[in-house]
Structure 1
Amino acid sequence: MKTTIARTAAAIFALCAMTATGFADEIPQDIQGKWAPSGGCDGEDAITLTATTIAFGSDEPQEAEYFEDDSPAGNGAVHLAEEGDVSNWEYNKEQNVLLFNEQGYGMGVAPVSYERCE
């Protein structure tokens, strides 16, 4: 009985671990590129997105991932792949902006709007 319960628990844990990491996608092509708060395309606040990374200003790229329908508004969002980081860049397709939620959705200050750099 104990062995069966232990095996079942292990199987459930393994399934949950696989499922949790399986939701992320590559960052969509139409979101990739350079973004910055208004007028800041040459500043350290600018970000550059590739299919799998985000780079801040001139810093080295970090692993990033994209979650479709992630935000409370149903928008997709880019997240750092680093465990425990809740900041995100929510893509508002209608306005063609990224909304930077530094402390996660609905937490702290209002999101900072990032515009696409030309």
Structure 2
Amino acid sequence: MEKPNTGINIFMNALGGKWKCLILFHVSRQPVRTKDFYERIPGITQKVLTEQLKQLEKDGLIRRELFPEVPPRVEYSLTELGRTFVPVLNAMCEWGYLYADARQIESVSCCEAPAEESDEPKRQHTMRS
């Protein structure tokens, strides 16, 4: 049976999985070079990163910019459509802290609003034990 095109199904088809939201989270803060993803997202493989970046680009959420330099430099940034997801990313991060508090899980700060949302108040987080 085919899944209905509900909002949540559309969302899960576009952004479900382990890596896409993490990739978008980092790109929402600033343009990211390919090599920097490995430092920011431990455990992601080159194959998976390449696939996820291509899919996010195909889905219109990020743009890939190739700079004519030697060696070549590639940066990824959010598109207009991708920027509409920033409030969702911020809400996901905030919920993560609520969950961490409820489950007594140690957490570190990550939720300062990205540049696209800089006019909104920022919630400061500290390490929790």
Shared fold (TM-score greater than 0.5)?
Answer: no
Structure with bigger strand share is: 1
Q: Which structure: larger Rg?
A: 1
Structure with bigger helix share is: 2
Q: Compute the TM-score of the two structures, normalised by the length of structure 2.
A: 0.22
Higher relative contact order (CA 8 A, sep 6+): 2
Q: Compute the TM-score of the two structures, normalised by the length of structure 1.
A: 0.23
